[in-house]
Amino acid sequence: MVNDVRRRLPYYKSDWTDAWDYRIVPSTGLFCLLPDSAKAWWYRFEKTKMSYGVNEVLLASVLGAVVFSFLAAQPLCIVGVTGPITVFNYTVYAIVTPRGIPYFQFMCWICLWSMLMHFAIAITNACNAVKWVTRFSCDIFGFYVAFIYLQKGIQVLTLQWRAGDAAAYLSISISLLVLMSGYACSWLGNSSLFRQPVRVFLKDYGTPLSIVCFTGYQYIGKMKHIELERLPVSQAFFPTMERGWLVHFWDISVGQVFLAIPFALLLTILFYFDHNVSSLISQGTEFPLKKPAGFHWDIFLLGITTGISGVLGIPAPNGLIPQAPFHTASLCVTRRRVDEAEENKGKTEVVVDHVVEQRVSNLAQGLLILGTMTGPLLVVLALIPQGVLAGLFFVMGLQALEANGITLKLLFLFRDDSLTSAGEPLKRCRKGAVWAFVALELVGFGATFAITQTIAAIGFPVFIFLLIPARTLILPNYFTPEELGVLDAPTASPFTLESVGGGYDDAPESSDDSTPAEASSDTLAESAESVMERGDSVKLSGRRSSAVRHSIDDGSGDRVEEAGSSGTQHRRTTAK
């Protein structure tokens, strides 16, 4: 085993002793001998005994990016390795390896069975059920994913004491500095400070530059003498363990092949919810998209990538939260206009004019990830302290929490009523109803998070999936339609949901239809003095939940049709 592993890693000591345990010391890239057999590998590998390493995760991200950027109906949805699939993978490992079942072969059959189930979902148009998904389910799942990021960051920091007290405290300091600098860049990018190009640069590149800056921070002054835990890497384009990229899935008993079916069902449920929610959020009501969606085709493609991942022995990729909506937001072209509301007179608001819908950015990031699997860049990755990675987890988690609907409702509840805008939609609800709705969301999040901390984590996809019928069948018994119209909302606009039969609460539409493409030109014409800005804030105040089109008479003999969460998004005026 020792000889197998040392051949795969670029740096190793020559004085090996098989009788001793060993581990990677990332600060030097060398192997050290440890007299304590209780010591484990770096956290990323320890739960699966190095089954998945850096190269496996990178290759999975490249696979998802290339396939979906070229072939997906909605290439704006970023596909990669998510926190929930990580939980699924190491839970399967904990279940099957003590029973002598070969892990990679078993996971391969899970992915192959899941691929067939994905095909069945696509062929039977089962993705039509996504029209029942509302912000209630998405916010709970997004809240859970955000806390997974925060939890992983804390867990990485708890492992730093293996390198000593000084290294642990320095790692904590570095993680907090990464968090503060990354969050500060994001805040400045959404502020009114500096000129627009500077704001866009800070928002788009502030976090990557923080990683580069604080990777070199450890070499300043006396800190350079402190050995920190770093990211362990293996040989370029090779798996972490001594094996080929092709999994010998035939080296497994027939009984174990069929034992993989219930696990495959759970994986399919997870991907059905996780990927479709990611796709829905990346096509949310705040984004006036012009290209139609294609949920059935995308789930078919996801089945293909899942099967390929099993054969290659890499984590199966699927839609990423919060990266998918962040990607769409970064492609928004916005403009500022004067807020006409009486209480906000003189202030400006940001309006999303249109989204630059293309396939290049998804493909480009996938090819850049492929470049990091080369030898020189893997050496660079090996310089990154684990404290920097923990800080990156914190940044991602807090940014996801900041934009989450549960957080926005909590901020409303704790805000001084006298300082709350009169146009806040939540003010139209009873305060008790808002509290009750938020409490239900927090209970759903707490139950999901608690399950994933136990061996029962293998079944958490079922619990997440049950949030959809719970919202549809139970909540209307305790909240009025008007309250649900404010507290909850369809995740995507009627235009996006057309491919799955429209929203479940759609009213009959008029024969004179409208499209986002026509809407954007009308919206742009409203103000000749508006200034086009790329990458400005996409936040919308007072998101409405109505997914139906309303035909209203503006008194001038014209009929104005509005659709989506705001009248500024999909609006068309036609002569009677």
Distance from C-alpha of 515 to C-alpha of 572, rounded to nearest angstrom: 8
Residues 380-431: tens digit of each pLDDT: 888 888 899 899 999 988 988 888 889 999 999 998 888 887 778 888 888 8
State whether the Cα torsion 127-402-363-315 is positive or negative. Answer: negative
pLDDT at 406: 92
State residue 470 phi and psi, 5-degree precision. -60, -40
Task: Put residue 126 in one of left, alpha, beta given phi > 0 → left and psi -120 to 50 → alpha.
Answer: alpha
Give the mean pLDDT of 233-239.
Answer: 79
Task: Report yes or no on 500 lying in a domain.
Answer: no
Residue 54 lies in a domain: yes
Domain assignment of residue 432, yes or no = no
Phi, psi angles (nearest 5°) of residue 11: -130, 135
Examine residue 535 and state whether it is found in any structural domain, yes or no: no
- Write out the two tokens for 198: 């500077």
Assigned domain for 335 exists: yes
Tally of domains in the chain: 1
Q: What is the pLDDT of residue 309?
A: 93
**DSSP3 helix / strand / coil % (the chain, rounded to 5):** 60, 10, 30
Q: Cβ neighbours of residue 151 under 8 Å, at least 6 residues apart?
A: none
Closest CA relative to residue 365, chosen from 73, 62, 74: 62
Angstrom distance (rounded) from CA 110 to CA 439: 36
What does pTM read for this prediction? 0.72
Q: Do the beta carbons of residue 23 and residue 41 sit within 8 Å? A: yes
Quick count: other Cβ atoms within 10 Å of Cβ 36? 8
Q: In whole angstroms, how far apart are CA 86 and each of 115, 197, 267, 452? A: 18, 37, 11, 11
**Would residue 73 count as lying in a domain?**
yes
Asked if pLDDT for residue 557 goes beyond 60, the answer is: no
| Residue among 344, 441, 400, 477 at smallest CA distance from 83 | 400
Cβ count near 29 (within 10 Å): 17
3-class SS of residue 351: strand
Peptide bond before 322: cis, by omega within 30 degrees of 0? yes
Contact, 279 vs 238, CB < 8 A?
no
Indicate whether 40 pLDDT > 50. no
Mean pLDDT throughout 513-521? 39
Over range 78-98, report the average pLDDT. 85
CA 247/CA 312 separation, integer angstroms: 6
Domain of 215, in residue numbers: 1-8+23-341+354-405
Distance of CA 144 to the CA centre of its chain: 11
Q: Is residue 75 part of a domain?
A: yes
Does 177 map to a domain? yes
